[in-house]
C-alpha cells in the first residue's frame, strides 16, 4: 500500500481494497467526475406474487448469496438492534465467507461480529464501528481496510458507485406487503429511517424485515416498496428500550452546564439568533440538551422564531416546536419517545435522510444552511482539526456519525471540557483527523473559548462580547498544565482503516496499534 501525504500532511493510501482513491485536498477542492450509478432495472412482471415471507431464511433461500458479497444495515435501532447479528449468523450457517459489512454504524450490541470476523465469515467493515469491532480493527483483525464515512459520505459513496451493496437488510418498525416502510409506527418505532434510503435505492437486492406488518398502504413510506424485493416478518426487531430511550436527560454536571451556557451565549453574541433565518443543530447528549434550553431562553427574550432546528430529535427539541420557537424540526434520527411521537404526529416535524441533509455530492444539501452547529469531539488540535474517531491512545472506537456533515454549518462549535481524566482535549496534533480545521469555527471549553483565527468575521461579530475568548494555544497550554503531555503510543506501518472526507477523498489513516 503506497502512502502519500494529503494537504493536511496526513499519510493516506492511494488505493483502498483495490479501488483508487484521492487524497483530501481541502474542502470543496475535489471535483467529482462521471454520473451516479443505478440499481438493476427490475420488471414488475417478476413481482406479481407476494413479497411477504415468514422468516429470514425464506428470504435467504431466494436471494443471490455469494462469498465476498457486500451486505448492509442501518443503525436506527441503535443498541437495541438484533438484525445485524441474526443475518450474519444465518449467512455464517450457510457457509458464506468474506462478507463485506456495510452498516451505517455498529454498536456494542454487535460484539458477536468479532467472532465472525475472526473466523472469516466477515472480511471487513465499511462503516462506522463503535466499541468491540473497532477494537478488533485497531489491532489488525480485519482482512482488508475498513473505511469510515460520515452519514452524508455513506450516501455519497453508494450513489457515486464507490460502495456497491449486493444485499440490503432493512429493519423496519412498520411495513406493508408492498414493501413500503417507516419507523414512526409499531412497537419498535425508532423515528426516521433515512439511513437506509440509499441502500433501498441502489442495492441489488433489498429485504425489509419488520415486526409490524400492516395492510397496504402504510404511510409515510420512508422506504418505497417499488425498491423492495422481500418483506420478512419476525417477532421482534429488538429491545424498544434500547432502540430509543424513554427520555433523554439534560446534564446536571456544573462544568458541562457551564460549557453549554457559554456555547449558547456564543451563538447569541455572534448575532445569528437575531438575524433572518436562524437555525441550529445540536445533538442528544446532556450538554447539547442544556445548550438547546439556553438558546431557547435567548430566543424567548426577543420573540425569535427559528426557521428550523435540526435533530436528532428529543423532547427538548419537540418542546421548542410545540411552543412555537421553531417553524420546523428537520430530523434525521429520533433519540427519545417524544421525538418519535412528534415526528409521527406533527406535520412540522419532518423526516430527513442523508441525501437531503448531508450529502455533499448534491446540488446542495441542508447542512450549510444551519447557522450554528454544536458538536462534541475527542480531540481538537492547534490547527482546529478535530478527531472523533480514535482515542488519545490510538484505539479506533467511534464512528464519524454526521460530524463532518454538520460541520458545514455557518458556525461550527465544538463543546468539550478542557480535559477528560488525564487526557487533554486540546492537543498539539490530533491522533486522527476526522474534520479539518477549516470546517471548525470555535471550541468552547469550561476554561475559555477559542475562535478559529481564520474566521475574522466571527471575531468581529464577537468584539463586544464578554465571553472569555482565548487562543487555541492558550487552551492547549492550560490543558497540558493539568494533564501533562499525552503519552505516546506505538503503531505498526500498516493502515487498518481510512477516514473518508465527505467528498470521498481520504483525510486520514488509522494504523495498526502495536500492543
- Exposed, middle or buried: residue 31 (CB in 10 Å: 0-12, 13-18, 19+)? exposed
Q: How far is CA 290 from CA 38, 272, 338, 429, in A?
A: 43, 19, 17, 29
Comparing CA positions, the residue from 390, 430, 357 lying closest to residue 510 is: 390
CB of 221 to a second copy, least distance (A): 7
Burial class (CB in 10 A: 0-12, 13-18, 19+), 510: buried
Q: Which of 362, 279, 275, 271 is nearest to 327 (CA)?
A: 279
Closest distance to a second copy from the beta carbon of 212 (Å)? 17
Nearest CB to a second copy, comparing residues 48 and 463: 48
At 23, list the grid cell.
487524497
What residues have CB less than 8 Å from 332, skipping those under 6 apart? 151, 192, 194, 195, 310, 311, 312, 352, 353, 354, 357, 358, 402
Distance CA 78, CA 286 (A): 18
Nearer to a second copy, 62 or 118 (CB): 62
* Closer residue to a second copy, CB minimum distance, 2 or 276: 276
- Residue 397, CB-side half-sphere exposure with 13 Å CA sphere: 12
Nearer to a second copy, 53 or 330 (CB): 330
For a second copy, the binding residues (CB under 8 A) are 27-48, 51, 159-160, 178-179, 206, 215-217, 219, 221, 224-229, 277, 307-308, 328, 330, 347-348, 350, 355-356, 359-366, 368-369, 408, 503
**Cβ of residue 371: shortest distance to a second copy, in angstroms?**
12
Q: How far is the CB of 306 from a second copy (least distance, A)?
A: 11
- Give the residue with the Cβ less far from a second copy, 76 or 349: 349
CB of 121 to a second copy, least distance (A): 28
Least distance in angstroms from the C-beta of 349 to a second copy: 10
Instruction: Decide if 500 contacts 157 (C-beta within 8 A).
Output: yes
CB of 135 to a second copy, least distance (A): 34
State the nearest-atom distance from the C-beta of 208 to a second copy, in Å: 11
Q: Locate all alpha helices (DSSP H) within 280-372, ordered by sequence.
A: 286-301, 315-323, 337-345, 354-357
Coil/strand/helix, residue 148: strand
Give 363 or 463: the residue with its C-beta nearer to a second copy: 363
Q: Is 435 helix (H, G, I), strand (E, B) or coil?
A: strand
Q: How far is the CB of 28 from a second copy (least distance, A)?
A: 3
CA atoms within 13 A on the CB side of 168: 27
Question: Which residue shows C-alpha cell 483525510?
Answer: 507
Residue (131 or 161) nearer to a second copy, CB? 161
For residue 260 the three cell numbers come to 453549554
Q: Which is nearer to a second copy, 79 or 159 (CB)?
A: 159
Minimum CB separation from a second copy for residue 494, in Å?
Answer: 31
Distance (Å, whole) CA 30 – CA 160: 14
- Rounded to the nearest whole angstrom, what is the least distance from the CB of residue 347 to a second copy in the complex? 7
**Closest to 233 (Cα-Cα) out of 378, 103, 53:** 53
Taking only Cα atoms into account, the Rg of the chain, rounded to an integer number of angstroms, comes to 22
106 beta partners: 129
Residues in the chain: 515
SS3 230: strand
Q: Which is nearer to a second copy, 20 or 31 (CB)?
A: 31
In the bound complex, what is the minimum distance in angstroms from residue 328's beta carbon to a second copy? 6
Task: Pick between residue 48 and residue 421 the one whose CB is nearest to a second copy.
Answer: 48
CA dist list (Å): 335 to 76, 220, 223, 242, 351: 9, 19, 20, 10, 13
Query: Do residues 444 and 259 lie in contact, with contact meaning Cβ atoms separated by under 8 Å?
Result: yes
Cα–Cα nearest to 182, from 379, 10, 331, 6: 331
Report helix angle 337-345 to 315-323, nearest 10. Answer: 40
Amino acid at each position: 500500500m503506497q502512502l502519500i501525504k494529503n494537504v493536511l500532511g496526513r499519510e493516506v493510501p492511494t488505493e483502498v481494497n483495490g479501488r483508487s482513491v484521492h487524497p483530501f485536498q481541502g474542502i470543496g477542492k475535489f471535483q467529482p467526475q462521471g454520473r451516479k450509478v443505478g440499481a438493476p432495472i427490475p420488471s414488475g412482471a417478476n413481482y406479481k406474487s407476494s413479497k411477504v415471507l415468514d422468516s429470514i431464511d425464506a428470504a435467504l433461500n431466494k436471494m443471490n448469496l455469494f462469498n465476498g458479497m457486500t451486505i448492509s444495515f442501518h443503525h436506527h435501532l441503535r443498541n437495541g438492534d438484533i438484525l445485524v447479528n441474526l443475518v450474519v449468523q444465518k449467512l455464517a450457517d450457510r457457509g458464506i465467507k468474506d462478507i463485506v459489512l456495510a452498516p451505517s454504524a455498529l454498536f456494542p450490541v454487535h460484539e458477536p461480529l468479532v467472532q465472525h470476523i475472526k473466523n472469516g465469515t466477515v472480511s471487513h467493515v465499511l462503516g462506522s464501528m463503535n466499541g468491540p469491532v473497532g477494537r478488533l480493527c485497531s489491532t489488525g483483525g480485519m482482512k482488508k481496510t475498513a473505511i469510515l464515512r460520515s452519514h452524508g459520505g455513506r450516501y455519497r459513496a453508494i450513489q457515486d458507485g464507490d460502495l456497491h451493496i449486493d444485499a440490503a437488510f432493512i429493519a423496519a418498525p412498520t411495513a406493508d406487503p408492498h414493501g413500503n416502510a417507516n419507523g414512526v409506527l409499531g412497537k419498535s418505532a425508532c423515528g426516521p429511517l433515512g439511513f437506509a434510503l440509499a441502500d433501498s435505492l441502489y442495492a441489488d437486492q433489498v429485504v425489509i424485515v419488520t415486526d409490524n406488518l400492516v395492510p397496504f398502504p402504510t404511510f409515510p413510506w420512508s422506504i418505497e416498496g417499488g425498491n423492495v424485493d422481500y418483506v420478512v416478518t419476525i417477532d421482534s426487531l429488538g429491545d424498544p428500550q434500547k432502540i430509543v430511550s424513554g427520555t433523554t436527560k439534560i446534564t446536571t454536571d456544573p462544568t458541562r452546564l457551564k460549557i453549554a451556557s457559554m456555547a449558547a451565549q456564543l451563538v447569541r453574541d455572534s448575532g445569528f439568533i437575531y438575524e433572518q433565518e436562524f437555525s441550529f443543530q445540536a445533538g442528544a447528549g446532556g450538554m447539547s440538551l442544556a445548550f438547546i434550553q439556553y438558546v431557547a431562553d435567548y430566543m424567548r427574550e426577543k420573540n425569535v422564531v427559528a426557521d428550523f432546528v435540526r435533530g436528532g430529535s428529543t423532547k427538548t427539541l419537540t418542546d421548542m416546536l410545540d411552543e412555537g420557537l421553531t417553524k420546523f424540526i428537520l430530523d434525521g434520527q429520533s433519540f427519545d419517545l417524544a421525538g418519535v411521537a412528534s415526528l409521527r404526529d406533527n406535520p412540522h416535524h419532518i423526516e430527513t435522510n442523508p441525501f437531503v441533509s448531508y450529502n455533499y455530492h448534491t446540488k446542495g444539501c441542508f447542512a450549510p444552511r444551519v447557522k450554528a452547529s454544536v458538536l462534541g469531539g475527542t480531540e481538537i488540535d492547534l490547527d482546529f482539526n478535530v478527531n472523533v474517531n480514535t482515542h488519545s491512545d490510538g484505539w479506533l472506537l467511534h464512528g464519524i456519525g454526521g460530524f463532518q456533515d454538520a460541520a458545514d454549518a455557518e458556525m461550527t462549535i465544538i463543546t468539550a471540557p478542557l480535559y477528560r481524566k488525564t487526557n487533554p482535549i486540546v492537543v498539539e496534533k490530533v491522533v486522527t483527523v476526522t474534520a479539518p480545521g477549516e470546517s471548525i469555527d470555535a471550541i468552547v471549553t469550561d476554561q475559555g473559548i477559542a475562535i478559529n483565527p481564520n474566521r475574522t468575521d466571527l471575531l468581529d461579530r464577537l468584539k463586544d462580547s464578554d465571553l472569555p475568548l482565548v487562543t487555541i494555544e492558550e487552551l492547549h497550554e492550560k490543558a497540558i498544565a493539568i494533564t501533562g503531555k499525552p503519552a505516546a503510543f506505538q503503531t505498526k506501518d500498516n493502515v487498518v482503516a481510512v477516514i473518508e472526507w465527505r467528498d470521498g477523498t481520504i483525510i486520514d489513516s488509522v494504523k495498526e496499534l502495536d500492543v
